[in-house]
Amino acid sequence: MKGTRQLPRTFETDAGAVEVRFMAPSDEPALLEFARSLPVHDMLFLPRDIAQPKVLAAWVREVERGTLPTLLAVKDGRVVGCGSMVRDPQSWSPHVAEVRVVIAPELRGKGVGRTMSQECFAILVAEGVEKIIAQMTLDQQGAIAVFESLGFRSEALLRDHVQDRDGKKHDIVILSHDVAKVMARMGAYGLTQAF
């Protein structure tokens, strides 16, 4: 997957220059620092608490194996965001991938999340993924807007699906993008090269 995009690349955002690159095992300490700086609520859509060292260590092992490609957003030498692309080619859904993007609170609304989401999306489309999903808590309206601007649509609402450390339950919304259908429609109009 690393050969599908020209990374690292520097993007100009409303927050200034941000480098986007693939995560390496040596990024573990910086990623742990980033995860621990996030409000817990911001991580509820993730299957595990990435601020826990053992969870992060398992993630790094998956990155090393090449089974969980992850992009990092780096600004001024500090990790300010990450985007993972989750696929299971051995499952009944090898054509489906999930994008998980988390951005530092102070950089939200400044184009960093959009850049990360677009890069993950482009990598997965180049890899031939036919459907991409993203999930988040219902109140993460900025993240929902970013994914909707990329063509994602609401597919499901899971009520009381996650529970924070205080025991409060939260809804999760699942958005999806049917890449295969969009590509087929574009092909009918001769637009696939532009995509």
CATH number reported for the structural domain that contains residue 38 in this entry: 3.40.630.30
Task: Assess if residue 140 is contained within a domain.
Answer: yes
Q: What is the tens place of the pLDDT at every residue in 59-97?
A: 999 999 999 999 999 999 999 999 999 999 999 999 999
User: What proportion of the chain, given as a percentage, has pLDDT over 70?
Assistant: 91
Please state the pTM of the whole predicted model: 0.90
Determine, yes or no, domain membership for 80.
yes
Say what the pLDDT of residue 6 is: 87
| Average pLDDT estimate for 39-56 | 93
The span from the first CA to the last CA of the chain, in angstroms, equals: 19
One-letter amino acid for residue 77 of the chain? G
Task: State which residues form the domain around 164.
Answer: 2-188
pLDDT of 11 over the 80 cut? yes
Task: Please give the tally of structural domains in the chain.
Answer: 1
151 within some domain? yes
Nearest to 31 by CA among 65, 74, 61, 67: 74
* Spatial distance between the Cα atoms of 23 and 39, rounded to a whole number of angstroms: 22
78-87/70-75 β-pairing: antiparallel
Where residue 193 falls among pLDDT bands split at 50, 70, 90? low
Query: CB 10: neighbour CB atoms within 10 A?
Result: 12
pLDDT above 90 for 34: yes
In a domain, 194, yes or no: no
